[in-house]
Structure 1
């Protein structure tokens, strides 16, 4: 059963619709341009403020100021679940950002075209995650034991992330990229912000289309990790959906904010791995011991804060010392000469 009320749904849908309008209409009129640090910082603060303001709307609507101790306790717990879920999703979204950076570097995407790629990437993420959250909520309501599957999966993912934190992925042999190359003719160069263009009289996909497609695939992978993580915090589908969506809305601005600071967060994958192990453990223990929501929030914040502090204090070694982040690849101009076998 969800805590959602018609007012909460109305405000949520209105904010998302307005956000998409700003992205695809207002900001799109700027045309192709490089997003500078100041602009990214302003928009990041705006989206964080909007997300926190919505938590206030939720708390107020659920009776946070009613004077009824039971209603106020319920409102506080729901608001805390939303905030914890938002912070976990926001932290995991940082991983997305550095993978996006790897893609942009590999395909040598000009900075002025990256904004459009991320716009469509965020839209695809919103649609995909909404579908996956609804499926996850149905599975949990129908099969309680699926929570243990989610918990075990998060433990496995956390351990895997820890082990792979210092490994640099090989995008050249990525199966998703190979699949795209086999099925599409790909142009040698970008054609502005277009996804398709004409080359030698044939309609071909531009490298920007390939990047957007790979961003969508990347988000599928990350959604499989992050959505079970938030279900470990709360099984209320509305809180899961809203905290997830608000974390994604600021993803584009956060990318441009953090892209130039990647070396400073070289230990972040380890912190995220510990967070996943923690929420996975919490999910496995749900019928034995219930970890209070406040403790979940404090533990998550402490892990991420400690990771950031250690990243600043401890100097990078190995690949990091060379300026490479675990999730980034060396800049390279990919071969786009591959033609589909069927054409």
Structure 2
């Protein structure tokens, strides 16, 4: 078991809080359209922070744990790209002005970190108490993989979200964003702006992604510190990555298929680990280094195949996938037919 002292935990959380604070201050003080150059610089910065942390962690705790960190980081980073798909859909659906998208994304990342910290603590506790949680987590990931593969060519229906629909029914909502405010007063009446509905949509999406991503990274490592840092550093770069690649996301037509394969693979890994520990040591386990290799190969093949596909067929369009089917709108059906 990895022994991480209180000082290291405090320093790590402090670093993450400082980086998040910088993001929040930038979003609040200087709302603006984030350009390609700025997005590239921030993306490189956050990747370097994650890599440097991984190098330090490897030197301090050994190559095996370092491999677990980098594998977990890669898994969470790949899953976070699917987050970006949904964020793009939310921003488009609710017509969020570009100067306020920075604020929405930063809020979403903060909320995602809080939710995942809670799920990490809960997951680590359950695993330490009940070994069959590996089996349950494995089955959950395989179920998620199957659903994602079945609906890989669909987009989640954001406005059909239970929390969004309930908020619209209960709260008085303005038609305009009113300078990025969440609450405003119109004709003497206190109302919320569409920004609050967007934040609710982002929050509910964060919850769903946390339910999938935490079991996935526990399939790589059972060390809470590694699970937390892999999630945190993957999410910290999400805001910059959104502005960097949102124009390229439509070209990753096979990403959902690749993610479903990765989730299924990790699900099998978890079930084998449970069987090895609880049934028989003769049941083989999948080593972390092999997991890293499989994930890298899947992501590389998916990316290359997607770029080849969209180059040959410019009408092909990527979809983030959905965990359940939604009634197709006429325009959606037409878009899908055009993307084949």
2:47 aligned residue? 48
The one of 308, 318, 321 equivalent to 2:315 is: 321
> Where do 1:28-177 residues align within 5 Å?
28=27, 30-62=29-61, 75-177=62-164
1:239 aligned residue? 226
Q: 2:221·2:227 contact (CA, 8 Å) conserved in 1?
A: yes
Q: Give the drift of 1:323.
A: 4.7
CA distance in 1, matches of 2:182, 2:318: 29
1:302 matched to 2:297? The reply is yes
Q: 1:176·1:214 contact (CA, 8 Å) conserved in 2?
A: yes
The count of aligned residue pairs is 317
C-alpha distance 194-317 of structure 1, shift in aligned 2 (>3 A): farther
2:16 aligned residue? 16
TM-score (norm 2): 0.88
SS in structure 1 at match of 2:173 = coil
1:292 aligned residue? 287
CA distance in 1, matches of 2:296, 2:204: 29
SS in structure 2 at match of 1:169 = coil
SS in structure 2 at match of 1:187 = coil
> Where do 1:185-196 residues align within 5 Å?
185-196=172-183
CA distance in 2, matches of 1:4, 1:44: 28
CA distance in 1, matches of 2:318, 2:308: 18
TM-score (norm 1): 0.87
Q: 1:32·1:193 contact (CA, 8 Å) conserved in 2?
A: no
SS in structure 1 at match of 2:286 = coil
SS in structure 1 at match of 2:191 = strand
Q: Give the drift of 1:3.
A: 3.5
Q: 1:234·1:240 contact (CA, 8 Å) conserved in 2?
A: yes
> Where do 1:206-245 residues align within 5 Å?
206-245=193-232
Q: Give the drift of 1:30.
A: 4.7
Structure 2 unaligned spans of 5+:
277-282, 323-327, 332-340
CA distance in 2, matches of 1:139, 1:37: 43
Q: After TM superposition, which residue ranges in structure 1, 4 or more long, deviate above 4 angstroms?
A: 326-330
SS in structure 2 at match of 1:235 = coil
Q: 2:251·2:316 contact (CA, 8 Å) conserved in 1?
A: no
